[in-house]
């Protein structure tokens, strides 16, 4: 069953989404050489507390922090600690969320620490982010869930191959419905699977967290002994981008983007829905 939201409920989710956007802005500024991933978690905690929101990551299945910090070959679910100190040349993906009045937001981004990154790493992040936007642009009334998966996969497959061979679209994790819980039905694949059918129809009130994860090598992952940290099996570096998106009568509203996705969607020929809080 897919939870369909009213416009009032989407406005609440927008509030949560803006807290997530604020965590992104603050952690982005703090992700410099010499900062530990624990420091970044403290930055996130402060933003959440000051907003009067709560964390949906802290305590989730026993997760011990408010953000996931995934450095280099770590794909997702890295745990902040004192030992992981960012250094020049690192690539970090930060994933976090917030709850406002029971409604959830969830979003992630990839950032470059310091300078001197190889062009294929910069391109990897660009391709991953753009594939997310292609998926968001497919959040159209009358489309099916598979149309979002297809838009993400097609975007990635149409890019020039990296020097490492090809992009690995991570298959073990994907997007999800979001609302009164962080993870709800339906699961959203980042590729088209013939086994899965077309999925539900996208209608106003349908909310999805769209989150492609792409590596410079394999699509396969394994979980480390800490039971959380997900790495690529070949050690290739990866990128992760995510936004929470609501479909409305007037099109998609990117709940976790400061401008609701307006500028980026306009480039793709899509008009973002009006911001209910504006």
| Known binding-site positions | 77, 95, 106, 176, 183, 211, 242
107-126 footprint of Mg ion as x/- string (CB under 5 A)? -x------------------
Question: Which helix (DSSP H) or strand (DSSP E) does residue 38 occupy?
Answer: helix 37-50
Stretch 200-219 residues interacting with Mg ion (CB under 5 A): 209
Contact partners, residue 225, CB within 8 Å, separation at least 6: none
Query: Please, which residue, 73 or 242, has the CB nearer to Mg ion?
Result: 242
CB of 245 to Mg ion, least distance (A): 11
Structure tokens at 103: 């409604």
Q: Give which of 205, 200, 201 is closest to 249, Cα–Cα.
A: 205
Query: Please, which residue, 64 or 89, has the CB nearer to Mg ion?
Result: 64
Helix axes 7-30, 37-50, angle to 10 degrees: 140
16-35 footprint of Mg ion as x/- string (CB under 5 A)? --------------------
CA distances to 75, 117, 198, 256, 260 from 87, in Å? 18, 12, 44, 28, 32
CB of 242 to Mg ion, least distance (A): 5
CB of 95 to Mg ion, least distance (A): 4
Judge whether 210 and 189 are in contact, CB under 8 Å. no
Stretch 226-255 residues interacting with Mg ion (CB under 5 A): 242
Binding residues for a divalent metal cation: 95, 106, 176, 211, 242
Residues in the chain: 278
Query: Please, which residue, 55 or 162, has the CB nearer to Mg ion?
Result: 55
CB of 119 to Mg ion, least distance (A): 27
CA distances to 23, 126, 202, 254, 257 from 106, in Å? 11, 20, 20, 11, 11
Binding residues for substrate: 77, 183
CB of 79 to Mg ion, least distance (A): 14
Structure tokens at 71: 């450095």
Query: Please, which residue, 176 or 264, has the CB nearer to Mg ion?
Result: 176
3-state secondary structure of 3: coil
90-109 footprint of Mg ion as x/- string (CB under 5 A)? -----x----------x-x-
Binding site for Mg ion (CB under 5 A): 95, 106, 108, 209, 242
């Amino acid at each position: 069953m897919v939870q369909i939201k009213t416009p009032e409920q989407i406005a609440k989710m927008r509030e949560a989404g803006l807290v997530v956007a604020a965590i992104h802005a603050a952690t982005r500024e703090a992700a410099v050489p010499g900062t530990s991933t624990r420091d970044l978690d403290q930055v996130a905690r402060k933003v959440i507390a000051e907003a009067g929101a709560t964390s949906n990551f802290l305590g989730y299945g026993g997760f011990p922090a408010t953000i996931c910090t995934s450095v280099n070959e770590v794909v997702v679910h890295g745990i902040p600690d004192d030992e992981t100190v960012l250094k020049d040349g690192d690539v970090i993906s930060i994933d976090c969320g917030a709850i406002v009045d029971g409604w959830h937001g969830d979003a992630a981004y990839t950032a470059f620490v310091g300078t001197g990154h190889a062009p294929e790493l910069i391109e990897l992040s660009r391709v991953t982010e753009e594939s997310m936007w292609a998926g968001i642009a497919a959040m159209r009334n009358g489309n099916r869930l598979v149309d979002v998966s297809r838009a993400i996969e097609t975007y990635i497959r149409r890019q020039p191959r990296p020097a490492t061979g090809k992009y690995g679209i991570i298959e073990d994790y994907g997007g999800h419905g979001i609302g009164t819980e962080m993870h709800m039905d339906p699961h959203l694949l980042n590729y088209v699977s013939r086994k899965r059918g077309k999925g539900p129809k996208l209608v106003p009130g349908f909310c999805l967290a769209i989150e492609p994860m792409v590596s410079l090598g394999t699509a396969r992952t394994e979980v480390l002994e800490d039971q959380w940290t997900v790495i690529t099996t070949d050690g290739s570096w990866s990128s992760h981008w995510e936004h929470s998106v609501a479909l409305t009568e007037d099109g998609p509203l990117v709940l976790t983007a400061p401008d609701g996705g307006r500028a980026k969607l306009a480039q793709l020929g899509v008009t973002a829905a009006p911001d209910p809080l504006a």
